[in-house]
Amino acid sequence: MYKIKTIELLNTAYLPKQLPKDMAYRKSIAFVGRSNVGKSSLMNVLFNRKMAKVSSTPGKTRSINFYLINEKDYFIDLPGYGYARRSQEEIKKWNTLMNAFFSESEGLEMLFVLIDSRHSLIKADDIFFQWILEYHVPIAIVLTKTDKISSQKLDLSIQQTKALSQPYGDFNIFPVSCTKRKGLNELFKFIGDVLV
């Protein structure tokens, strides 16, 4: 089981030139998803402390945040996608920053794409998957907020997510609840296998 002993917010990048130089060779995993999907909550539960800022305002994260774990690995918090209220200028900045990140992140071992279990994949996710495939990044899907639906609806959500994501790849899917702390052991074990 992967254990987090030390954690430090080492870098915050709003512009491509602010991306850390050691990103290319340091092992890392990254988290991304639609705005308000519960990404910060998941990262805080994995960290077992409040590091990532949780906001009630969707689309709050504008930067890429690099957390140094155990003085060797990066856990990377990427800004959310698909938030309708962003201006064209903000969307352009997001595209520029994310393109620079994925172009330079040779050390990225896995990208965790978070999907709200209540809604499965929607158009914004579809667009993101089409875009990210250009970078040949390993992907796993995390279904969040599973405590808000019944076990029957969760089974259906998993099946739908598998079916809808199939054109893009055969991804591992991890249903989790941060509130009930369900599914986290399986996710942590997978993270450990990825970063070993």
Residue ranges per domain, the chain?
A: 7-195
Checking DSSP bridges between strand 139-144 and strand 172-175, what pairing results, if any? parallel
H or E segment at 163? helix 151-165
pLDDT at 182: 95
Helix (H, G, I), strand (E, B) or coil at 114: strand
pLDDT at 60: 56
CATH superfamily of the 7-195 domain: P-loop containing nucleotide triphosphate hydrolases (3.40.50.300)
H or E segment at 46? helix 39-47
Helix (H, G, I), strand (E, B) or coil at 112: strand
Closest residue by Cα to residue 72 from 133, 15, 29, 14:
29
Per-residue pLDDT tens, the chain, 196 aa: give them.
Answer: 788 999 999 999 999 999 999 988 899 999 999 888 999 999 999 998 887 766 555 555 689 999 999 999 999 999 988 765 667 888 888 899 999 999 998 899 999 999 999 987 888 899 999 999 999 999 999 999 999 999 999 999 999 999 999 999 999 999 999 999 999 999 999 999 999 8
DSSP secondary-structure letter at 145? -
DSSP string, 54-108: P-SSTT---SEEEEEETTTEEEEEPPPB--TTS-HHHHHHHHHHHHHHHHH-TTE
Burial of 89 (0-12, 13-18, 19+ CB in 10 A): exposed
Q: How far apart are CA 128 and CA 126, in angstroms?
A: 5
